[in-house]
Each structure stands twice: as C-alpha cells, then as structure tokens.
Amino acid sequence: MTVRVVERSEPETLLAVFQGKLGVLSHAKHPALFRPVYPFARRKSADADEADTHLQSDGFHVEACGFYLRGDRFRGGVARAGCNVLVIVQGPALINIRQT
C-alpha cells in the first residue's frame, strides 16, 4: 500500500509518500494510535544518484515508519475510488492510504 501525507490547501500540497505493508494498530504511542508501515525491500537502482531510504536514528532511538492518529486532531475519514483509498482528515493534513 501507499501512504501519502497531503497539506489541506488550495491546491493540496504533497508532503510525504511511503510504501509498504500496513501493520496492526498499536496503542504503544499513547495518546496517539499508531499504524506502522513496514517498508518493502528496495531493489538497488542502476542510477548511482538515487538516494536510498533508511530509518532515521539519533544514536539511541530509531524512528518507526508509520502514521499517528490523534483523537484531538482527528476530523473524520472517508473511502474513495471504489474503497481502494482511505482518506483520513487530521488537523491541517490528509492521510491517503491506497491499496497498491
């Protein structure tokens, strides 16, 4: 699946895109609900200029790939494109989750 994070503006502005397998909803990041996204293995590109995607680390903590849902910022969700896309409205952002 593909996750797109979009700023709700006119026109909408794409902020981030990542792909992977959607994990099980977790309460480990309370008060937010966290949905991990496990990145697909990437094939090495023949293009030497293409940057690899890695988890970010500050030496002690590795940031998990996924998205956070905050009850105090949640504004709703709707299925689109024949139920292949879930759009979550959270504060000034849209989280589009598309089955690929």
- Is residue 58 within 8 Å of residue 64, measured between CB atoms? no
- The ranges assigned to domains in the chain are 2-42+54-98
Residue 21's nearest CA partner among 5, 43, 36 is 36
Cα separation of 67 and 49, whole Å? 28
Q: Which residue has the tokens 């690929």?
A: 100
pLDDT tens for each residue of 13-68:
999 998 999 999 999 888 999 999 988 876 555 554 444 445 555 666 677 888 99
What pLDDT, on the 0 to 100 scale, is given for residue 48?
43
What pLDDT, on the 0 to 100 scale, is given for residue 42?
60
Strand order in the sheet with 85-90: 66-69, 33-39, 13-22, 2-7, 93-98, 85-90, 74-80
